[in-house]
Amino acid sequence: MKQTSQELGELIRACCDPQNTAAREEFVRQFHRLIAGVALRTAARWGERSPEVIDELIQDTYLKLFADGCRLLREFQERHQDSIYGYIKVITANLVNDHFRALYNGKRGGGVPTEDINEIQYAAGSDHDGSPEAMERAVLMSEIMACMHRCTEGLTSERDRLIFRFYYFEGYTFNEIAAMPEIDLTIKGVESAIQRIKTMIRERLDT
């Protein structure tokens, strides 16, 4: 049964006690489905579907969450109900992406295959690798990313790029992005940032 925000807060505090193995076992029970699902989907974007590799990434996620006296869990600040789920989702996805970036670093063509950006994507067609439609789509994605970097300038540029990537390429919701400590925006603020960036990109692509 899903616990309330108060109960999850108590569970997280209990996990910070290294002697409280029961609390950590309950944490795994509560969040395993989420962590496993995110690890599986994120690894699949890198072309990895091996159960052994996925399981290792899941275990690495738990090790990271429980490391240094559960530092990451202690640093979590609840911004809205259930924001802990978005927080753990981000930690899991970042760990998996970091794993494959390190693995493929220096290899030509290494990187995360991108997902559709439906609201600003002009071309549509087959996703089959090597097809003309897929090649056109790859070119479009490059143009969109270049536009995004040109459009996002000033003090908030790095944050805007993170928001854009998390929302369009990694599939996070406004709520989940707002829960990220490095974003420091409300849900409405994230939505406004997405709309602003999307409008600027459309204008650039139309010129």
> Does an H or E element contain 192, and which?
helix 187-206
Question: What is the structure's pLDDT at 127?
Answer: 43
- For residues 70 and 17, the answer to whether their CB atoms sit within 8 Å is no
DSSP letter at 4 equals P
Quote the CA–CA distance of 45 and 20 in Å, as a whole number: 36
Question: What is the structure's pLDDT at 145?
Answer: 62
Cα torsion through 195, 199, 205, 207, rounded to 10: -170
**Closest residue by Cα to residue 41 from 33, 49, 29, 53:** 49
**Closest residue by Cα to residue 36 from 3, 14, 60:** 60
Residue 75, C-beta contacts closer than 8 angstroms, at least 6 positions apart: 181
DSSP letter at 165 equals I
Question: What is the structure's pLDDT at 136?
Answer: 47
**pLDDT tens-digit series, residues 162-197:** 888 777 766 778 888 888 777 888 999 999 988 887
- For residues 115 and 168, the answer to whether their CB atoms sit within 8 Å is yes
Question: What is the structure's pLDDT at 128?
Answer: 39
Q: What is the pLDDT along the chain (207 residues), one digit of tens a residue?
A: 567 778 888 999 999 888 899 999 999 999 998 999 889 888 888 888 888 899 999 999 999 999 988 999 988 887 777 788 888 988 999 999 889 888 877 554 444 443 333 333 333 333 434 444 444 444 455 556 666 666 666 677 788 878 887 777 667 788 888 887 778 889 999 999 888 878 877 776 665
Quote the CA–CA distance of 29 and 77 in Å, as a whole number: 21
Domains, the chain, ordered by start: 5-104 (1.10.1740.10), 132-206 (1.10.10)
Question: What is the structure's pLDDT at 142?
Answer: 56
- For residues 78 and 84, the answer to whether their CB atoms sit within 8 Å is yes
Question: What is the structure's pLDDT at 141?
Answer: 54
